[in-house]
Structure 1
Amino acid sequence: MRTVSLPWDLGLVTPLDASEACDWILGAAEDLSRPRILSNLNLHALHLSLEDGPVHTLTSRSDVTLVDGWPILLLAKMASPKFGWPTTRERIGSTDWLSELMRRDPEIAVVAVGGTPETATRMTSYVNDRTSNMQWQHFDGFSFAPAAEASSETGIRDMVSRADVVLVGLGMPTQEQWILDHLALMKGGAVVANVGGCFDYFAGTQRLAPRWMGRFGLEWLYRLAHSPRRLAKRYLIEPFLLLSRLARRGQRPHA
């Protein structure tokens, strides 16, 4: 896999399309002594990764960091202009590769953590209606209780320790801290990913932006229109804070 070093020392990304991301998830791990970390980088994550904290720690430890969002895609293209790469195919969110994973329906045990109890139940039903081999166990992000449709009453720690894939959607930076706190439970070779609010989109408790808006980099506008109070700071203020931080970094004398 090729990695791209973003400009201004903003970190590394591994541009993959949804199919390639699933190939990596389902492929054999080179190092069975530890779990593998799959993270995604969007503008909000980039902003948080520039300060000490769980997002910075998890991103720096990730085995694969996906390109999530047009700003990160443009930064990656700036870093590799000779190759005309990555393309929009490699700009993917968690819903993209998780949809592909469900389509493949591998014989793996997946533990999902996050969302309301309603989201956890509806997400479990969504997955079970579309797969026959994948074992899906969902714990909500509030009481960490198993979903109403769950087939097991085993505790979350035991399930995480047995899982082949662990998906954590608790919002940034809570989900990154949760992953760091529970990494030691996970078996070697397993994959853990921070997936934000993707469970809500599958469950129907949040609406996903139309695909054509994604092609034009307008998904943020759709989300802002539907959740203005929750997302106004992220989309209208954070980009300017990020630019200010980058400007200050550029003024620092080189060692």
Structure 2
Amino acid sequence: MKTTIRHNILNANIDNFSMQETLAKIKESIDKKEQIHHVVVNAGKIVAMQKDLKLRKSVNESDLINVDGQAVVWASKILGKPLKERVAGIDLMVNLVKKAHENNYKIFFFGAKEEVVKKVVDIYASQYSTSIIAGYRNGYFKKEEEKNIAKEIAHSGANILFVAISSPTKENFLYDNKNLLKNVNFIMGVGGSFDVIAGKVKRAPMWMQKVGLEWFYRFIQEPKRMWKRYLIGNTNFILLVFKHKFLKK
């Protein structure tokens, strides 16, 4: 398929793909038995990338980078590098689970608490079929266990890997172990998506997603845990955009 433009916005590389273009690119890679290392960026991650150079490298050297944050879509227009649309990680994951069922792909689910990831697997096995499940594992491990976990996933027969671990751990895990995972055609970090699918966390109504308030809906569910990530992170992102637009020569 035709390659689209890759923009660099505030030190973050972002591919200007729509959801449908992203899905087509992934299917093409799986069918050719090639690997795509996928990542999404949002306002908070872009702020973190300004100082966390390993995270920046892990993101920017990925094969496919989508924007998962309406604030970044708005910023792209302000900065003169407009992106087509937001491709939310959870929406991409849900679409890919359906595609797995339709195309006989297998998925490995890695991350979250044991009861959460098991519930996600049970939900999808019931909704579609156990045939899409290559395996699953919770997201609690020691650094020295990483290589063995990657090998376990690689030997599971999975075409797709979803990693539901917080940043920057998931990005660095995928970047550091992508050679061990070369048999897995599509590897992707999905953050807190397992919690949503399992019903532990509610997702914002569609109208809030469309106006860029999904972060606020998440914040009011867990204010003590999320206030720093969203309130401080979003403020820093606005300041970063302002500085780049009006102060950078």
Superposed displacement of residue 28, structure 1: 3.0
Gapped regions of structure 1 (runs ≥ 5) = 145-153
% identical equivalent positions: 21
TM-score for both structures, normalised by structure 1 = 0.80
Matches within 5 A, 1:49-128: 49-79=49-79, 86-87=83-84, 90-104=85-99, 105=101, 106-128=103-125
Superposed displacement of residue 240, structure 1: 3.2
> Structure 1 74/107 Cα, relative in aligned 2: closer, same or farther at 3 Å?
same
Q: What is the match of residue 127 of structure 2? A: 130
SS at match of 1:99: helix
1:114 maps to a residue whose letter is G
Q: What is the match of residue 148 of structure 1? A: none
- d(CA) in 2 for partners of 1:231, 1:220: 9
> Structure 1 28/4 Cα, relative in aligned 2: closer, same or farther at 3 Å?
closer
- d(CA) in 2 for partners of 1:45, 1:127: 29
Is this contact kept in 2: 1:31–1:189, CA < 8 A? no
Superposed displacement of residue 35, structure 1: 3.4
- d(CA) in 1 for partners of 2:178, 2:8: 27
**Residue by residue, what CA displacement relative to the aligned partner does 1:59-93 show, whole Å, maximum 9, x if unpaired?**
11111111111111112334557xxx644xx2121
Q: What is the match of residue 180 of structure 1? A: 175
- d(CA) in 1 for partners of 2:4, 2:244: 30
Query: Is 1:199 matched up with 2:200?
Result: no
1:174 maps to a residue whose letter is T
- d(CA) in 1 for partners of 2:171, 2:149: 21
Matches within 5 A, 1:203-242: 203-242=198-237
- d(CA) in 2 for partners of 1:28, 1:173: 25
SS at match of 2:37: strand
1:159 maps to a residue whose letter is I
> Structure 1 74/6 Cα, relative in aligned 2: closer, same or farther at 3 Å?
farther
Q: What is the match of residue 19 of structure 2? A: 18
SS at match of 1:27: helix
Is this contact kept in 2: 1:54–1:176, CA < 8 A? no
Superposed displacement of residue 244, structure 1: 5.1
Q: Find the partner of 1:158 among 152, 163, 174.
A: 152
Superposed displacement of residue 251, structure 1: 6.7
Aligned-residue Cα RMSD (Å) equals 3.0
2:77 maps to a residue whose letter is K
Query: Is 1:48 matched up with 2:42?
Result: no
> Structure 1 28/231 Cα, relative in aligned 2: closer, same or farther at 3 Å?
same
Matches within 5 A, 1:139-154: 139-142=137-140
- d(CA) in 2 for partners of 1:31, 1:49: 32
Q: What is the match of residue 4 of structure 2? A: 2
> Structure 1 250/29 Cα, relative in aligned 2: closer, same or farther at 3 Å?
farther
- d(CA) in 1 for partners of 2:239, 2:216: 22
SS at match of 1:185: coil
163-172 or 236-245, which moves further after superposition? 236-245
- d(CA) in 2 for partners of 1:141, 1:222: 25
2:22 maps to a residue whose letter is A
Superposed displacement of residue 107, structure 1: 1.3
TM-score for both structures, normalised by structure 2 = 0.82
